[in-house]
Amino acid sequence: MADILYTYKNQVYANITNRCDCSCTFCIRTTKDTVGDASDMWFTKEPSLEEIKAAIDAFDFTGYDELVYCGYGEPTCALENVIASAGYAKEKLGIRTRLNTNGLANLYHKRDIIPELSKVIDSVSISLNAPTAEKYKEVTRPQFDNAFEGLLDFAREAKDAFSHAQLTIVDVLPKEEIAECQRIADELGIHLRVRKFSE
């Protein structure tokens, strides 16, 4: 089986699904089969909750204070396992939890899932990727026609539901697009993190 927990840049990540409701043009999954110290990120069968818990039990969290849900898929596509395993990790380890997400979970599940997530997830990082619906659709190729609006709605609610919430973009965007993303974040009242692109 592929690695469920792996480390990258001194953080622990949970890779719990390969399902995703986007097909981003820049996705690392199209060029690499692994990240960090993982030996394999591709599942032949999606891990069960019991297997995720077993991976948490087996991992030495000494020196780590956060578990980040981010792997070769959109974590919220396996929502029940995110919620259950994050709750388990917090109860057993007293560790902080973070969700790296595309922000489309409410559209994917056809309901507001933020109240459930906020019970066990401390912070969320939402990939904005582009400053307009047209450019977002071109870059992320989402399953939903209203994906950009859905993402912004998710971010609007997330900023009050979690201890920390942020939008993220990568610094390869032109300066004017970064400025427009900052304007969007400011209007939403949410932090914007500009991440450095890593090959």
What CATH number has the domain bearing residue 87? 3.20.20.70
Q: CB-side exposure of 149: number of CA atoms within 13 Å?
A: 3
Q: What is the pLDDT of residues 150-167, one digit of tens each?
A: 999 999 999 999 999 999
Q: What is the pLDDT of residues 28-41, one digit of tens each?
A: 888 888 888 899 99
Q: What is the pLDDT of residue 35?
A: 86
Q: What is the pLDDT of residue 57?
A: 97
The more confident residue out of 95 and 35 is: 95
Residue 184's SS3 state is helix
Indicate the pTM of the whole model. Answer: 0.94
Residue 63 has pLDDT above 90, yes or no: yes
Judge contact between 77 and 37, C-beta under 8 A. Answer: no
Residue 199 has pLDDT above 60, yes or no: no
Segment 24-29 long-range contacts (CB within 8 Å, at least 24 positions apart) = 24/129, 24/139, 24/140, 24/141, 25/138, 25/139, 25/140, 25/141, 26/139, 26/170, 29/72
| Number of domains making up the chain | 1
Q: How confident is the model at residue 9 (pLDDT cuts 50, 70, 90)?
A: confident
Q: What is the pLDDT of residue 192?
A: 96
Structural domain harbouring 33: 5-195
Q: What is the pLDDT of residues 175-186, one digit of tens each?
A: 999 999 999 999
Q: How confident is the model at residue 196 (pLDDT cuts 50, 70, 90)?
A: confident
